């Protein structure tokens, strides 16, 4: 069962006030199925969602719907569930601000559908039940999207999402518009907005684990890069020492630089900081990492001069 299915199953079992239920139903029907003067037909792959819509219509408008199971022709193993409403069609569509009194479809819902924060959240629940999906946080990317047919509705949806600071964006598609959110924290916020409490817990657990794992990987990569740099620097210094010995040029160095040379040969894998601490401890003469690096630069300059 997909993460999206789990979310829809969860929010389909919640109970809200009548005004919130009307807003949820408006969000669903405005973005789903088709209607005429005689009937409303709604499609979903989720039987729990189908039962939810059936229950809302029956309780709010005292209308009995029917639910039919159909084969899905879109290469999906899931059946499609067709919800049919054949009574009070005009009243329902007008009340949900899907159409006006002249049967003209309204580009966006009426003001009272999203008049309060709770009703706006309910509208988002309805749109999500109809056209929304969220990637499982275990996958490689975070992604929430709604596939909306009409541009005014997509712009309205983006506007109300962004009223909750979700930073949603819109892309044009062949069959409509995709309203989407990419930021992990914002998707978690959306789940809170639609009251999907169990989904929030699951999502945040996975997100925190992934963030911690990514941070650990970055630290490990950084540490490995530092180790590689230390080894590379030490190897270059050893190569310079061998060149000076082969060319009988070690005696051209001053005493302090020869001392650094001897300690580098003795501790070939030590970092400059570690080598400075060793020299300080064993000789009783304090030397810093910067001071030691200066000695090796003098050795390098001599090597370059001899090679030149």
Q: pLDDT tens digits, residue range 94-129?
A: 999 999 888 889 999 999 999 999 999 999 999 999
Domains and CATH numbers, the chain: 3-195 (3.10.28.10), 215-307 (no CATH)
Residue 160 is predicted with a pLDDT of 96
Give, in order, the Cα–Cα distances in Å from 216 to each of 142, 152, 213, 222.
20, 44, 5, 10
Residue written as tokens 């169990």? Answer: 198
Residue 169 is predicted with a pLDDT of 94
Is residue 75 pLDDT above 70, yes or no?
A: no
Residue 178 is predicted with a pLDDT of 95
Q: What average pLDDT does the structure give for the chain? A: 89
With 0.85 as the threshold, say if the pTM is over it. no
Residue 168 is predicted with a pLDDT of 95
Q: pLDDT tens digits, residue range 223-253?
A: 777 777 888 888 898 898 898 888 888 888 8
- Alpha-carbon distance of 106 to 108, in angstroms, equals 6
């Amino acid at each position: 069962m997909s993460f999206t299915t789990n979310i829809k199953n969860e929010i389909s079992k919640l109970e809200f006030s009548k005004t919130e239920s009307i807003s949820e139903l408006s969000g669903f029907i405005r973005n789903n199925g088709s209607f005429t003067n005689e009937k409303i037909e709604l499609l979903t792959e989720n039987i729990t969602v189908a039962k939810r819509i059936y229950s809302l219509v029956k309780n709010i408008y005292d209308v009995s719907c029917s639910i039919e199971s159909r084969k899905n022709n879109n290469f999906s193993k899931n059946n499609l569930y067709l919800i049919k409403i054949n009574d009070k069609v005009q009243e329902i569509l007008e009340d949900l601000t899907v159409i006006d009194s002249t049967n003209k479809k309204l580009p966006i819902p009426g003001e009272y559908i999203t008049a309060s924060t709770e009703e706006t959240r309910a509208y988002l629940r309805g749109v999500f039940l109809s056209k929304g999906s969220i990637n499982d946080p275990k996958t490689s990317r975070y992604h929430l999207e709604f596939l909306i047919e009409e541009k005014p509705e997509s712009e309205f949806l983006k506007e109300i999402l962004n009223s909750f600071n979700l930073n949603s964006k819109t892309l044009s598609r062949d069959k409509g518009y995709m309203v989407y959110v990419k930021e992990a924290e914002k998707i978690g916020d959306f789940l809170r907005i639609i009251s999907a409490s169990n989904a929030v817990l699951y999502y945040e657990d996975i997100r925190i684990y992934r963030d911690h794992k990514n941070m650990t990987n970055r630290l490990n990569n950084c540490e490995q890069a530092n180790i590689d740099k230390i080894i590379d620097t030490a190897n270059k210094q050893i190569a310079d020492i061998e060149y000076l010995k082969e060319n009988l040029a070690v005696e051209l160095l001053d005493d302090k630089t020869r001392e650094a040379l001897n300690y580098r040969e003795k501790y070939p894998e030590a970092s400059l900081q570690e080598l400075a601490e060793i020299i300080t401890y064993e000789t009783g003469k304090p030397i810093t990492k910067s001071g030691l690096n200066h000695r090796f630069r003098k050795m390098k300059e001599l090597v370059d001069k001899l090679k030149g």
